[in-house]
Chain A
Amino acid sequence: MLDFVRTVGWRSVDNVYGLGGIASFGSRLVFETLAPPYRLRRVIDEIYNTGVLSLAIVCASGTAVGLVLGLQGYNTLVRFGAERSMGAVVGLSLVRELGPVLTALLVTGRAGSAVAAEIGAMVATEQLDGLRMMAVDPIDFVTQPKAFALFASMPLLSALFIVSGLFGGYLVGVGLLGIDGGTYVSSLENNIDFRNDVLGSILKSAVFGALVGLIATWRGYTAAPNSAGVSRATTGAVVQASVATLMFDYAITALWGVGV
């Protein structure tokens, strides 16, 4: 009995300790981003790895989601004779929810896992210790550019996802189902609001980018220095970043307000 209580106590302390660790790691990341040296070269390389290389998957997925939304939206709306509102359905779903959330999940799988695995492998092969030996701070030199690249790429990728999706919806609606192109676009433009929809969408994707960057680099940085540790870090980064994205999505939607 006493053992059980002791285990519960130890687990709680361990969890709080972990939260404190990730918080101090996150504040170090923010500090290193703001303080010189800025390591622009490293940041551009990492934006290439996370942003540019995710471009194809994000645009392809966005178009596919737009195509499906168009088809599903049409089949539902046509029952009420409201197929003229298809632009609003596709646009609002993409801008408010699907764009930021699906982009974050895709980038987590495509780039977040790679970041965690790379840093984890550097831990396992003692490269970070090597950097410390040379008086180079690994948080500043290795993790900060990766985390910042994820944070900076996310809103851009999300915007491209949304635009691809709108294009996909247009393809299905106008090309396949015979809705007038002007009707689609005007329904889109009349129903999307800057503050409620677009600004909220950008805020969401920026928060998701920060979350994915923080969790992926943290899991890699704290990986156990062996192959099993690297694989656990990669899995943990993907799972935790995805769950955190979905939970924060609810919180931001509730706090920002969905408007009318």
Chain B
Amino acid sequence: MSRSPIRDLLVGVFVLSGLAALAYLSIQLGAATYSGPGGLTLYANFDEVGGLAKRSPVVIGGVRVGQVRSIGLAPDGSFRARVTMDVDKSLKLPDDTQAAILTQGVLGNQYVGLSPGGSDTLLKDGGEIAYTQSAVVIERLIGKVIQSLGGGSSGGDTAKPPAAGGKGS
């Protein structure tokens, strides 16, 4: 077959649009989900991380500022979970910042929410967040409710509403 300007143009358009689609899939969709600035490594120990995973978001007031880099057991032998986070290093976080593992919606993905405190000293790179709040595990919550309901009716303690009695604290 001979050279044909229109066909060559169409082949060129096909190849370029195919490559553009591949690039869209790879870069836009497949990129690491947080592409903002990082650089500040923070640690936090939790009793329970629930469904938190690598690359889960780290959020301050609903704004994404970093991501979870890894999750493991704390090296001090306390059997607590140690979460390593990569956070925007331009943030000046006070050292009494709190970290909580929260859920988007009722069944959504879990993320780490930071709430900065009021201290004058700042968290340094590699610093540890001391104040943490663990993930809520729905099975345990339901278990507690059932237990307290059962305890309330068998004990005959009618002064308190059932859900608040027993192991509620």
> Which residue of the partner chain B has the closest CB to A87?
B29
Contact of A157 with B18 in the complex, beta carbons under 8 Å: yes
Whole-angstrom CA separation of A162 from B19 in the bound complex: 13
Interface residues of B in 1-30 (CB under 8 A from A): 1, 3, 7-8, 10-11, 13-15, 17-19, 21-22, 24-26, 28-30
The listed residue (B15, B33, B109) touching A47 by CB distance below 8 A is B15
Whole-angstrom CA separation of A147 from B114 in the bound complex: 56
Whole-angstrom CA separation of A108 from B166 in the bound complex: 66
Q: How far is the CB of A37 from chain B (nearest CB, A)?
A: 16
In which size bucket is the chain B interface?
20 to 34
| Chain A residues within 8 Å of B3, by CB | 41
Most chain A beta-carbon contacts within 10 A, residue among B3, B8, B19, B30: B30
Which secondary structure dominates where chain B touches chain A?
Answer: helix
> Which residue of the partner chain A has the closest CB to B33?
A190
Q: What total count of A-B pairs have CB within 8 Å?
A: 86
Contact of B21 with A198 in the complex, beta carbons under 8 Å: no
Contact of A198 with B25 in the complex, beta carbons under 8 Å: yes
Which secondary structure dominates where chain A touches chain B?
Answer: helix
Q: How far is the CB of B16 from chain A (nearest CB, A)?
A: 9
In which size bucket is the chain A interface?
35 or more
> Which residue of the partner chain B has the closest CB to A198?
B30
Whole-angstrom CA separation of A157 from B32 in the bound complex: 25
Q: How far is the CB of A62 from chain B (nearest CB, A)?
A: 10
B159 at the interface (CB under 8 A from A): no
Contact of A201 with B18 in the complex, beta carbons under 8 Å: no
B residues near A (Cβ < 8 Å) are: 1, 3, 7-8, 10-11, 13-15, 17-19, 21-22, 24-26, 28-33, 53, 105-109
